[in-house]
Chain A
Amino acid sequence: KQEVTQIPAALSVPEGENLVLNCSFTDSAIYNLQWFRQDPGKGLTSLLLIQSSQREQTSGRLNASLDKSSGRSTLYIAASQPGDSATYLCAVRQGGSEKLVFGKGTKLTVNP
């Protein structure tokens, strides 16, 4: 059974800092991995999707990497801003399945 873990559960940083959020998964037979952002009381916004054959994806100040063999993904946020404050969720789609398995998320606070 696939399990997705995100560490740390919460992170507080000063504005301008570069930071890394971690995601690990137990079964490496994944189809893809997706990072989402969730603002309080809101839905999920897709940030980046990495297919199993890819190593990384970039969008603006965000860069996500995938190491399937070690069961890990990282989300790198450059030059963090207070507007980046949100909960970041990692989700894995298993090979041969339509189901997304989510981690519990990392709650990020960027202080001005």
Chain B
Amino acid sequence: DAGVIQSPRHEVTEMGQEVTLRCKPISGHNSLFWYRQTMMRGLELLIYFNNNVPIDDSGMPEDRFSAKMPNASFSTLKIQPSEPRDSAVYFCASRPNNYGYTFGSGTRLTVV
């Protein structure tokens, strides 16, 4: 089992550019989560999907952020346009029913 796979590992982009982060959950895990980690706020849930359906996106900071899960093996988090305050580490996690979470290695995003 390769675990939760995120790409890219690092992303540096200029303010105003579109950024797309990718996640492949563990096969058979029916829930997928996107978290953001910053020094100031720690880990915060942005959005989660259950059986590919977005359930709670109340943590998405603003309309510049969007997430999709077109199938059970792939999800994207898009930021358009990006701003310097979006700089953070973005984690994807997946979970089977009633068990604990498995996190990916994260994408470190820097917006200059």
Residues of chain A touching chain B, judged by Cβ–Cβ distance below 8 Å, are 32, 34, 36, 41-46, 49, 89, 91, 98-100, 102-105
Contact = CB atoms under 8 A, between A and B. Distances in A.
Contacts of A103: 42
B106 A98 contact: no
Contact of B106 (A43, A91, A105): A43
A49 B45 contact: no
Contacts of B106: 42-43
Interface string B82-112: 0000000001010100011111111010000
Contacts of A49: 99-100
Contact of A32 (B33, B45, B100): B100
Interface stretch (B13-21, B48-56, B65-73): B48-56
Main secondary structure on chain A at its contact with chain B?
strand
A43 B105 contact: yes
Nearest to A33: B100
A19 B90 CA distance: 31
13 contacts: A41-B108, A43-B105, A46-B100, A49-B99, A89-B43, A98-B33, A98-B48, A98-B56, A98-B95, A99-B48, A100-B43, A100-B45, A102-B43
A44 B100 contact: no
B75 interface: no
B91 A44 contact: yes
Given A43-B106, A99-B45, A100-B101, 17 more contacts: A32-B100, A36-B103, A41-B108, A42-B105, A43-B103, A43-B104, A44-B93, A46-B102, A49-B100, A89-B43, A91-B43, A98-B50, A98-B55, A99-B48, A100-B33, A100-B45, A105-B42
Contacts of B103: 36, 43-46
Contact of A99 (B42, B56, B99, B105): B56
Nearest to B100: A49
A75 to B, nearest CB: 15
Task: Please name the 7 residue pairs, one residue from A and one from B, whose CB atoms are nearest each other, closest first.
Answer: A49-B100, A43-B105, A44-B103, A102-B43, A104-B42, A43-B103, A34-B100
Contacts of B93: 44
